[in-house]
Each structure stands twice: as C-alpha cells, then as structure tokens.
Amino acid sequence: MQRENWASRLGFMLAAMGSAVGLGNIWRFSYVAGENGGGAFLILYILSVLVIGIPLLLVEVSIGRKAQRDIVGSYKKLAPKQPWFMVGYVGVASAFLILSFYSVVAGWALYYWWGYVTGVMTVMPENGFGGSFDAFISQDYAPLFWHALFMGITMLIVLVGVKKGIELANKILMPILALMMVALAIYSITLPGAADGLAFLFKPDWSVLDDPSVYIAALGQAFFSLSLGVGTMMTYGSYLTKQHQLPGATVGIGVMDTLFAIISGIVIFPAVFAFDIDPSSGPPLVFITLPEIFYQMNFGDIVGLVFFTALSLAAISSSISLLEVPVAYLMRAAKMSRKLASLIVGIVIFASGVTVSLGMGKWSDLTLIGDRNILDSMDFLSSNIFLPIGGLTMAVFVGWYFTKQEALEASDLTNNQISQIWYVLVKFIAPILIIIIFLNSLGIV
C-alpha cells in the first residue's frame, strides 16, 4: 500500500499547529496561567517552550520522518529486535485515553456553540450558568449526543485521508480560528477595566516565583500544549518526505502555538477583570465564568458565538491528530483500510467516552485513581504518566540510542549553528526536566 504524504510543507505545519492548538491552549492555558500568577508564569511558559517544547517537537517529528511509520512501527524500524517499540503502545493508549475524555469536553463546547446559535445561552438560566452547566453534564443522554456528533466529525475527516481530510480541514480551520481569536482579543481589550487584565497577563509579579509549583506548571503546560509524547507529531512527521526541512517548520509550529495561547489569554483575562471575576477560577473558567461575562457585556451573544465556534474548531483540529495515532497503527499492523480503521477506532473511543460522560452523572460516585472520577482518572493517567514516559523515551532514543551524527542528520541540523545547543538540550536537559515533571505529578517531588 502506497504511504500517504502531505501535499505541502504548509499543509503539514497547519496540521501540526492544529494538533497543538486545542482546548489545551484556549481552556487549559487560561486557567493554569490564572492559578499561577499571570505574567511571571507566562515568561516561564515561553522559556519552557524554547528549552523543552521546540527541541522535543523536532525530536518527535524527526523520528517519524526518518522511519515513515506510525509510532509503534517507527521504533520497530529504527531499533529492530529491541524493546523501544513498547513505548509506542503507550503512545497509542494515551491518544485513545485522551480522545475518550477530550471528545466529551469538546461535545460540551459544541453544545454551548449551539446554545449561542439558537439564543438559549443568551438568557440567564434560572439556576445560573454554573447550575445549568452542572445539570447538563450530569444528564444521561444529552451530553452523549454532542459527544457522538463531535466524534462523528472527527472520524469523517480522518477517514477521508491525509491530503483530502486532515490537511484540507486544517487549511480551512486554522486561518478561521486565527481570525476569530484575533477579533475576540481586539474586542476584549476595548472593555472597561481591560487594562487590569492585560497587566495581570503581561506585568510579572515576581513574588509568585517563590513557589516551586509555578515552574512545574509552566514546564507541564509547555509539554502538554505542544502535544508532545502522544505520538501525534511522530505520526504527522511520518507523512513528510525528505525534501521538507524540519528545524524551521518545528520552530514555526512552536511559536504559533505559543502565540495562540497568549492570544487566548488576551481574550479571557481582560474580560475576567472587566467584570471583577477571580482569574484563578480554575477549570470552570470557560464553561461557567465566561458565559456569565458574555451575558453581562455588550454584544455578548455575538462574542459568545464566536468564542465557542473558535473553541470547537480548535478542539476538532486537535482531535483529528489524536485519532490518527491509533488509526495509523491499525492500518499498518492489521493491514486495514483507512476507512475501516477510522470507523473501528472512532466507535471504540466513542464507547469509552460514554463512560466518561456518565461518570459526570449517574456514575459520579465511581472513582478509579485515588478519589478521581472517570474523566479525571483518564486525564491523570494519560497526562501525568503516559505523556512524560513518551516524551522521555523520545529524548533518550535520539540523544542516547542514536549517534550524535544520526541525531543531527535525522533532524536536518548537520550544518546548523544551533546543532550543539539542541543536542545538549535533548540529551541532558529535556530528560531531567521531564523526570521532574513526572515525579511532581506523582506527588514525589
């Protein structure tokens, strides 16, 4: 079977940006930045992207391009008869787990989008937006409809193929998403009191750096927002030909991903401060706090519609990369057609997501890891254990298993001035930082 390729370097970059720019940038970045003091956290986050994010992004893409295989097949080809490929299965499992709960949360975003389309969300609910949100996610069937719709859209894009599905979708989604986020940011900074929100985001309060957890949070956010360790970038890299130069592309992806996160902060924090909301509201910021703000502001119904359209588009661009990881594996390992692999994996992930959705309602008493519900348990396992293992293995594989010459050739850095810096970061610095993130997430550090 002829292996698919990207039609263009721009197509790959937009798809990779689409993978990186998702709920993690718009939803997670905002509340993590809010909980960790704003400006000082932002500086640490940008440094983390430069020191760990972009170097590891180049590592992951270069492994995929060199092997021209899925995440399991890449390790099998580059390190035959050695156990490295076992980590590939961890990547497939983490993509499966993440999409199981990601699609449920993305379904909530679609539900809110439809609420603004129909005007339902422009009216204050009797039990408030917090009560209304809790009532919705605890239902048995309504959230499942939106979860199914979101998974259906994701499956349709992936089963069409790399060029006509994934690449074409991202060429449409990413420019629209960028325009929407910039428009929202411009509107947000015109709000009365917006200056306080901008000061929170851009004027560092250095005292927060006394808390070691802020450093860990910045490292973790950089690691997770770039989709590192799951295998999405390795899989996308495998559709690149040798003609595509990697360093410039990966720097571009890292910079644009960070820019999206900052723009989402400019959208959210001026609005939060304009309406005297606590910026450290945590995960409910998007689904409870922002609808309350949109309800109070002029043209809030339009702003809410644009915001949840952007959030839904960002979720779709990420979900198709997550689905592609197990689909690419099945296509090679089981010699399955793309359509059949997409349908099988999509249906199984939907079924797994049903347990997540019911875990917010009738199964809310069910706890798996510690006292966490089903969603939080899947999130903890994938984000805090599987992803660091995946990222650490990639860094060690390129830094220690490859010779230095092989590593530089695979990443197109043979004659590059930054090759020595990149190699030291990948071989020594990144593994140490990932281990610190890993131990912190387990409560050991």
Q: H/E/C letters for each residue in 55-106?
A: HHHHHHHHHHHHHCCCHHHHHHHHCCCCCCHHHHHHHHHHHHHHHHHHHHHH
Domain that holds residue 334: 9-360
Residue of 151, 63, 64 lying closest to 102 (CA atoms):
151
Say how far apart CA 91 and CA 238 lie, in whole Å: 15
Domain count, the chain: 1
pLDDT of residue 282: 62
pLDDT of residue 242: 83
Determine how many CB atoms are found less than 10 A away from the CB of residue 118.
9
pTM: 0.93
Is 394 a member of any domain?
no
Is 185 a member of any domain?
yes
Is 437 a member of any domain?
no
pLDDT digits (tens, 9 = 90+) for 329-361: 999 999 999 999 999 999 999 999 999 999 988
- CATH code for position 349: 1.10.4160.10
Is 396 a member of any domain?
no
pLDDT of residue 283: 64
Is 426 a member of any domain?
no
Integer Rg of the chain from CA = 21
Q: Which residues of the chain have pLDDT under 70?
A: 1-2, 281-283, 445
pLDDT of residue 327: 97
pLDDT of residue 288: 86
pLDDT of residue 284: 73
Is 1 a member of any domain?
no
Is 379 a member of any domain?
no
Say how far apart CA 289 and CA 295 lie, in whole Å: 10
Alpha helical stretches, state H, 297-429: 300-333, 338-358, 374-380, 387-396, 404-410, 419-424
The one-letter amino acid code at 323 reads L
| Whether the Cβ atoms of residue 162 and residue 3 lie closer than 8 Å to each other | no
pLDDT of residue 297: 85
Is 399 a member of any domain?
no
